[in-house]
Structure 1
Amino acid sequence: METPESYESSLETPDKGSPVPQDKVNQDDKEKPTSIRFLVSNAEAGSVIGKGGQTITEFQSESGTRIQLSRNHEYFPGTADRIIMVSGSVSDILTAMELILSKLQNELLEDGDGANSTSKLRLVVPNSACGGIIGKGGTKIKSFIEDSQAGIKISSQDNNFAGTSDRLVTVTGSVEEKLQALYLIVNELVEDPHYLQYVNSPLSYTGANFSALHRIPVNYVLPPIVPEAYNVTNCGSNGAAGKPDTNKNKVTAKPVTIGIADEHIGFIVGRGGRNITEIRQSSGARIKISDRGDFISGTFDRKVTISGTVEAICTAQAMIDQRIASYSES
């Protein structure tokens, strides 16, 4: 018997209480290491990272989780949204998600966007694990909706995300309602052996390789600190800005700082500095790598700051990404 494709809630908001009922979480489940993946816009990703990586560092420190983002030009298939993966114990993940969702909610309110005060949380879940969330005849997802008072909708199996077997579980409601629903969903997922295999395997999509997302720290882009003429927000995979503006590409842009795993630095620099020299000469960009042991706070990632024109920065980023991809595949 086929399971229903989606369910949504139209129930009233419950009384406000503790967003995560930790007293009801089985002690063994609290300590189970796992991960969740969800989608955010580029703007939301910037909010989670914070200036100079400050916000993401604080969230990792407060929750005890590892929070990783796909790079600023690597999106979930069929969308313009980046992927965030939060890894740790169940209870720590719930703590991190409370910090993230509250941050995004507060920014909506500060922007005066009251109409979108119940923004969506879109979880990426393998199709093999969705049956456990839905339950026989939809009984489990109905109980999740009733218990959390959140809207929960699972994308159709017919949706084709670039040939992947992933589906989106969309949760709507207040921060508290979304956290209640997430608590129920995550505790269901950790009992699923298929999901355990999923979170322990590299995440790879057509056109974007996210193998670094789990086993190797991802190269996330930090917001520029030094204000200059232009800000590089999106470089195409060929090293050119998304829709090139000839004049803009020739003007100095804000420096871009990316975090790169310490183990990759030697491969980027090359023997006697051969690789980094080639990247500098080919791109025309200036590239500065932080000293050994000088990591981005809360990580083992070195800072690589790229300066120059929009075109030069994008070209240098593309060349660095290509070398890392070659290293990861070797």
Structure 2
Amino acid sequence: MESPDSRQTSSAEVPPMRSPSPLSSPTRENTAKNLYLRFLVSNAEAGSVIGKGGSAINDLQTESGARIQLSRNNEFFPGTSDRIIMVSGASNEILRAIESILSKLLKEFYVEDEETDPQSKLRLIVPNGSCGGIIGKGGATIKSFIEDSHANIKISPQDINFPGLNDRLVTLSGNLDEQMRAIDLILSKLAEDPNYINSFTVPYPYAGVCFAGFHGVPYVFMPPFGTAAYHGTNYGMNGNVGKYQNIKGSPTSSVTIGVADEHIGVVVGRGGRNLTEITQVSGARIKISDRGDFLSGTSERKVTITGPQRAIRAAESMISQKVASVSER
């Protein structure tokens, strides 16, 4: 899938649509306010949202009335290999835009089952200070959101591994209708928070946050909206609260990165020594494509890393260091 440089995607504001939103919101008092919502997508999904020459993102903005911006193709949310989409405007415009984006990604990245609606995970980025309002006293608010939307909602704690990161991930699991209802409820709650409205920022506000990892462009991130392996609190449909621990059995995903053909040798090492070391230290599984099997449009071999997010990040960092050592020489 062709993905132009995301620096071309910060389009100008477009007039709001005249037609009313088909979505039903708990309140429309906030439609006139300038709100925003950020969420994560893989690099491949970002390319789909942008479209060839920016055509797709321009259409999405025109149809919704919202402004859609993306982080650059090497600007990932700390601790992930995912880019950030920020949608801003009135609440009904934001909902229209997000629904169009998610519908597009479901069609292109999920195999549709005629008998059931496709299920996916969407990760919203919410400031730490605004998460309390979503949770509510004793979890009452978030439980009511779950009962209303029928989506599962999981809120991560603040990640102490990245000092200066003041955002948390709110993961919504379910079909499109369930996710959109949950987004509607959450956005209405955020609109009541003056700190959230005043924190309006750029799509990628983490320039001062340093984290290790391979900063190449991921080819595939599976599944779309993959589950992060963090110590989060999961609020299920049954109202129970459980813990996801970053231990054996943590949710897994896969990332495929490109490594120049001439650098594959240093990743593998003599007799596979380096590859074995990376696998043992990180805990991730690593598969390298055969000679001549390159990423589309490049001369880079495909290195697929599978495991929990922390294992993937560790493996990416070690691979990056191996490649960097050769490049410096």
* TM-score, length-scaled by structure 2: 0.55
Aligned length: 206
Which residue of the partner structure matches residue 182 of structure 1? Answer: 183
The answer to whether residue 98 in structure 2 is matched with residue 102 in structure 1 is no
Q: How many Å apart are 1:181 and its aligned residue? A: 0.2
**Would you say 1:20 and 2:20 are equivalent positions?**
no
1:171–1:234: structure 2 CA closer, same or farther, 3 Å change rule?
A: closer
d(CA) in 2 for partners of 1:63, 1:46: 19
CA–CA separation in structure 1 for the residues paired with 2:133 and 2:67: 26
- What corresponds to 2:129 in structure 1? 128
Q: Confirm whether residue 245 of structure 1 aligns to residue 261 of structure 2.
A: yes
**How many angstroms apart in 1 are the aligned matches of 2:115 and 2:71?**
29
Gaps of 5+ in 2: 1-20, 211-215, 220-256, 265-297, 301-329
- What is the alpha-carbon distance in structure 2 between the residues aligned to residue 177 and residue 169 of structure 1? 14
Partner of residue 191, structure 1: 192
State how far apart, in whole Å, the 1-side matches of 2:259 and 2:110 are: 32
- Return the offset for 1:182: 0.2
Distance 2:117 2:47 in 1: 19
Structure 2 residue identity aligned to 1:141: I
The residue aligned with 2:248 is none
Contact 1:64 1:92 in 2 (8 A): yes
> Is the contact between residue 134 and residue 141 of structure 2 (CA under 8 Å) also seen in structure 1?
yes
- Give 1:150's aligned residue: 151
Q: Measured at CA, do residues 117 and 179 of structure 1 come closer, stay the same or move farther in structure 2, by a change above 3 Å?
A: same
For residues 145 and 189 of structure 2, the distance between their equivalents in structure 1, rounded to whole angstroms, comes to: 10
SS of match in other structure, 1:205 = coil
Could you give the per-residue CA deviations for residues 146-170 of structure 1, whole angstroms, max 9, x where no partner exists? 0000011100235544531110000
Q: Is the 8 A contact 1:19 1:176 kept in 2?
A: no
Report the equivalent of 2:312: none
User: What TM-score results when the alignment is normalised by the length of structure 1?
Assistant: 0.55
Between the two structures, name the one with larger relative contact order (CA 8 Å, sep ≥ 6). 1
Q: Which runs of 5+ in 1 are unaligned?
A: 1-17, 210-231, 236-240, 249-308, 312-330
Cα distance change of structure 1 residues 162 and 51 upon mapping to structure 2, 3 Å threshold? farther
Contact 2:146 2:182 in 1 (8 A): yes
Aligned to 1:30, what secondary structure does the other structure show?
Answer: coil
**2: CA distance between counterparts of 1:123 and 1:37?**
6
Q: Residue 55 of structure 2 aligns with which residue?
A: 54
| Cα distance, 1:115–1:107 mapped onto 2, change above 3 Å | farther
CA distance in 1, matches of 2:202, 2:140: 30
Q: Supply the distance in 2 between the matched residues of 1:97 and 1:202 (Cα, whole angstroms).
A: 15
What is the CA–CA distance in structure 2 between the aligned matches of 1:72 and 1:83, rounded to whole Å?
10
Cα distance 1:114–1:122, how it changes in 2: closer, same or farther (>3 A)?
Answer: farther
Distance in 2 (CA, whole Å) between partners of 1:56 and 1:83 is 14
Quick one: structure 1 residues 166 and 61, their matched pair in 2 at CA, closer, same or farther if it must change by over 3 Å?
same
Indicate how the Cα distance of structure 1 residues 105 and 242 shifts in structure 2: closer, same or farther if over 3 A, else same. Answer: closer
Q: For 2:262 and 2:156, how far apart are their aligned partners in 1?
A: 41
Q: C-alpha separation between the residues in 1 aligned to 2:48 and 2:197?
A: 29
Q: Quick one: distance in 1 between partners of 2:111 and 2:58?
A: 22
Q: Is the 8 A contact 2:112 2:118 kept in 1?
A: no
Q: Percent identity?
A: 55
- The answer (yes or no) to whether the contact 1:120–1:170 under 8 Å persists in 2 is yes
TM-aligned CA deviation for residue 98 of structure 1? 0.7
CA contact (8 A) 2:85 2:203 kept: no
Asked if 2 retains the 8 angstrom alpha-carbon contact of 1:37 and 1:83, the reply is yes
Q: Which runs of 4+ in 1 moved over 6 A?
A: 111-116
CA contact under 8 A between 2:40 and 2:83: conserved in structure 1? Answer: yes
1:234 Cα offset (Å) = 6.5
CA contact (8 A) 1:108 1:117 kept: no
Contact 2:127 2:196 in 1 (8 A): yes
Q: What are the within-5 Å matches in structure 2 for residues 63-102 of structure 1?
A: 63-102=64-103
